[in-house]
Structure 1
Amino acid sequence: MTKASRVPVIGILLIGVIGPSARVSAQQRPVIADQIAKTYGLDSWDQVEAIRYTFNVDWPALRLKTSRSWVWEPKTDRVSYDGKDKDGNPVKVTYSRSQLASQSAVVKNEIDPAFNNDQYNLLFAFHIVWDTSATVQDAGKQKLPLGKGSAEKVEMNYPSEGGYTPADAWTLYVGNDGRVRELEIHRVNAPPSVYLTTFANYKKAGPLLIALDRPGSGDGKPLSIHFTKVAVKLAGSNTWLDAQ
């Protein structure tokens, strides 16, 4: 069994460094990459002291239906988790990702990979700028694979080595407003091999723009991801700003 298969999660991609310090120079990516990230609030990311959310996935074909709740403090990379382990036992834990080596096997092999998966799905528009290993290309206007009309096609390809799922290809279809309308993922080493979804129910949590609902399909079977209880806490404040 591979390490990735221990956790029933979607879209696991381990990132060397999460956050602004991992940005590549603007000359190495197309202009639209920065436009997308800014649309979702990247310029205000430094104001975010903490972000909380619950990741919910429903994939009937695999009898997979689960929820995981998180609080992430990006400046310190401190994570709090409330959910279950792979055996269905309730787990509540807080840990520092800089000290992951000293954590239990459950945290290292189950919870932290799940955090990477869920955080990536929530904030993936920022990873277009943050992820140094991926190549990003603007493929111009293309027909939407699911809906009617066309949108700007942006291709994001990961290298064949490194991370949990090497060689993944992420294709974003972006509207004139800079918002992602649809997403297509082709994966090599983890299910689903093809994931198609639309982005719906956009809300603002403080300065961040988030699509709460991602209805779609995995390998041709219905698969839905949605986020609940999304909120951010800004630097200098103790108030949570709910997505609305």
Structure 2
Amino acid sequence: MKKTILPFLFALSIIACKNTENDTSSSEMNTETEVNASEEKDGIGNTIAMANGLDKFEEAEEIEFTFNVKIQDSLRSSRHWKWNTKSNEISLTEGDETTSYTKTDSIPEDKKSIDSKFINDSYWLLFPYQLVWSDANLTEEKEVAAPISGDTLTKLEVAYNSAGGYTPGDTYDIYYGKDHMIKEWVYKASGGDREMATTWEDYETFKNIPIAKMHKSEDGSFQLYFTDISVK
């Protein structure tokens, strides 16, 4: 099951993403390996996605989750989603209001605001699958110090192109261990004017799908976390 789920928005309470392509170069001493995800679906992108339960997710019919953002102990955002993965019918409950749409290749103008929120929130929830679902340049670098913990991990740069989507040209540096689970990542907005590192922690398994429920900045002032998760 291949889905096209593009970028995500970076704002005070929402950090965003994107499906794109970018040229990167290999570093000295051959510590970096560049792989184009569209050409090597059986490569490292697929390995990480499968370690995070992609094959099990493809059997799922529905997923629900609440996306929460807290800044300085103040809840800035809380959105509950219900996603039928077979029909791509998606509903959002935010406050007392529930709205729905069907995700297709052509989103009506009046549904683009809800679609951009869904893309943002689902990227945080299921980013490992984007290494298979979307096209990006992947550059792997072994034995790199993670930005928050300082642990020695493998870094994978996921670089998207500068055309199309809600936030073109974004880059994500993910840091993962030998189990191919993401431990930390750094989001870099196109143009280099915004950058944020957060953890990937508090993993819990839902129908054999591991999900990191908590993402925190180094000082803990920013927390993005998931509640009410269910997979059917």
TM-score of the pair, normalised by structure 1: 0.76
What amino acid maps onto 2:190 in structure 1?
Answer: V
1:165 corresponds in structure 2 to 167
Alpha-carbon separation, structure 2, partners of 1:115 and 1:55: 10
Report if aligned partners of 1:143, 1:150 keep a CA contact under 8 Å in 2: yes
Q: Helix, strand or coil for the counterpart of 1:181?
A: strand
Alpha-carbon separation, structure 2, partners of 1:232 and 1:7: 29
Q: Helix, strand or coil for the counterpart of 1:43?
A: helix
CA displacement at 1:137 relative to structure 2: 1.6
Q: Helix, strand or coil for the counterpart of 1:70?
A: strand
What amino acid maps onto 1:10 in structure 2?
Answer: I
Deviates more, 1:220-229 or 1:114-123: 220-229
Q: Helix, strand or coil for the counterpart of 2:227?
A: strand
Structure 1's 109 and 59: CA in aligned 2 closer, same or farther, altered over 3 A?
farther
Higher helix share: 1
Alpha-carbon separation, structure 2, partners of 1:6 and 1:122: 17
CA displacement at 1:64 relative to structure 2: 6.6
Alpha-carbon separation, structure 1, partners of 2:10 and 2:155: 30
Alpha-carbon separation, structure 2, partners of 1:185 and 1:7: 14
Report if aligned partners of 2:216, 2:222 keep a CA contact under 8 Å in 1: yes
Structure 1's 12 and 60: CA in aligned 2 closer, same or farther, altered over 3 A?
farther
2:223 corresponds in structure 1 to 224
Alpha-carbon separation, structure 2, partners of 1:147 and 1:8: 23
CA displacement at 1:222 relative to structure 2: 2.7
Question: Relative contact order (alpha carbons < 8 A, sep ≥ 6): 1 or 2 greater?
Answer: 2
| 1:26-105 pair list within 5 angstroms | 27-28=39-40, 31-60=43-72, 65-84=76-95, 90-98=96-104, 100-101=107-108, 105=110
Alpha-carbon separation, structure 2, partners of 1:145 and 1:9: 21
Q: Helix, strand or coil for the counterpart of 1:79?
A: strand
Percent of aligned pairs with the same amino acid: 29
Q: Which runs of 4+ in 1 moved over 4 A?
A: 4-8
Report if aligned partners of 1:137, 1:155 keep a CA contact under 8 Å in 2: yes
Q: Helix, strand or coil for the counterpart of 1:44?
A: helix
Report if aligned partners of 1:196, 1:216 keep a CA contact under 8 Å in 2: yes
Aligned residues: 208
1:87 corresponds in structure 2 to none
Report if aligned partners of 1:213, 1:226 keep a CA contact under 8 Å in 2: yes
> Structure 2 stretches of 5 or more lacking a match?
1-8, 21-36
What amino acid maps onto 2:223 in structure 1?
Answer: S
1:237 corresponds in structure 2 to none
1:126 corresponds in structure 2 to 129
CA displacement at 1:38 relative to structure 2: 0.8
Report if aligned partners of 2:13, 2:69 keep a CA contact under 8 Å in 1: no
Q: Helix, strand or coil for the counterpart of 2:115?
A: helix
Instruction: Please report the RMSD computed on the Cα atoms of aligned residues, expressed in angstroms.
Output: 2.9
Structure 1's 7 and 149: CA in aligned 2 closer, same or farther, altered over 3 A?
closer
> Structure 1 stretches of 5 or more lacking a match?
16-23, 85-89, 234-244
Report if aligned partners of 1:151, 1:175 keep a CA contact under 8 Å in 2: yes
Alpha-carbon separation, structure 2, partners of 1:7 and 1:76: 32
CA displacement at 1:148 relative to structure 2: 3.3
| 1:139-218 pair list within 5 angstroms | 139-188=141-190, 193-216=194-217
What amino acid maps onto 2:59 in structure 1?
Answer: Q
Report if aligned partners of 1:29, 1:137 keep a CA contact under 8 Å in 2: no
